[in-house]
């Protein structure tokens, strides 16, 4: 139904999803693209960190794994995405889907958890040190640029820029 709904709108309504589950035919893992196409694969990745995650799956995936091996592999793949892409979030949530139930483990791994700063980096206004100071007079700067003095209330007129409208 989701595939047909997305295909009907040809990408004008979209969702990029990884859908997993168990039904009477067995385990299924699908990718659903915004325009409605789907793929059924043994492992999938989507999103900005997907290339890094895919490299982990391609090197470590086996067809017969224990639950813990599968969770560890998925966690490692997500962490590869986190560490190699700025837009991939900061923690790993795991959903274990079996025939009997789905178990959600939020915050399974938090590789980028913020730590307490070693010092306070809050400074009072005006306390930034001045390393050096040089005052350039009008006469000195006039060697390099043209200086026009404005009368009080007068506005500067620059060259007009042509715009394509």
Domain parsing of the chain, residue ranges: 2-109
Residue 79: exposure state from Cβ atoms within 10 A (0-12, 13-18, ≥19):
buried
pLDDT in tens, the chain (165 residues): 777 777 787 767 767 788 888 888 888 888 887 777 888 889 999 888 899 999 999 999 998 889 999 999 999 999 999 999 888 788 899 988 888 898 999 999 998 877 888 888 888 877 877 788 899 888 888 888 887 777 887 777 666 666 665
- Tell me if residue 40 falls in helix, strand or coil: strand
For domain 2-109, which CATH number applies: 3.40.50.300, 3.10.129.10, 3.10.20.440, 3.60.20.10?
Answer: 3.60.20.10
């Amino acid at each position: 139904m989701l595939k047909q709904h997305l295909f009907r709108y040809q990408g004008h309504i979209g969702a990029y999803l990884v859908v997993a589950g168990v039904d009477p035919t067995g385990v299924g893992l699908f990718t659903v693209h915004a325009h409605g196409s789907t793929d059924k694969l043994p492992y999938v990745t989507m999103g900005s960190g997907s290339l890094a995650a895919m490299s982990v799956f391609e090197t470590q995936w086996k067809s017969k794994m224990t639950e813990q091996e599968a969770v560890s592999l998925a966690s490692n793949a997500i962490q590869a995405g986190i560490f190699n892409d700025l837009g991939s979030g900061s923690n790993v949530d795991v959903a274990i889907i079996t025939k009997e139930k789905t178990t959600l483990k939020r915050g399974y791994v938090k590789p980028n958890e913020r730590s307490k700063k070693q010092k306070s980096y809050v400074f009072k206004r005006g306390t930034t040190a001045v390393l050096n100071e040089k005052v350039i007079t009008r006469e000195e700067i006039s060697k390099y640029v043209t200086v026009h003095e404005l009368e009080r209330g007068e506005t500067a007129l620059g060259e007009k820029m042509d715009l394509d409208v």
